[in-house]
Amino acid sequence: MSAHQLGVEIACDGPTGGDDCPDSAAVRARFTSRTVRQVRADGRRDGWTTRRAQGRLLDICPRCRTHTTTETTR
């Protein structure tokens, strides 16, 4: 028996990028999307955005994108 990766799921990183998405959103699965790059492209078609923070990409769903707040540091 062999195991094969079926694809990648991208989940929302929340409105500030440091909290959970209130809707537990994930990019809708498409049969042809198997890599992270393909799934993120699918998400952009659905209104998702990405941004860099602390050396990694944050994936933000359309709902959280409109409720994004900036955290202040002291």
> How far apart (Å, rounded) are the C-alpha atoms in residues 7 and 30?
9
> How far apart (Å, rounded) are the C-alpha atoms in residues 32 and 49?
20
Show the tokens assigned to 44: 């952009």
> How far apart (Å, rounded) are the C-alpha atoms in residues 20 and 8?
19
pLDDT of residue 72: 36
> Domain for residue 72, yes or no?
no
pLDDT in tens, 37-74: 898 999 999 999 988 888 888 899 999 988 755 543 33
Residue 36's region, left for phi above 0, alpha for psi from -120 to 50, else beta, is alpha
Cβ(25)–Cβ(11) below 8 Å: yes
pLDDT in tens, 1-22: 777 666 778 899 988 877 888 8
| Domain count within the chain | 1
Task: Find the domain containing 24 and state its range.
Answer: 1-67
> Domain for residue 27, yes or no?
yes
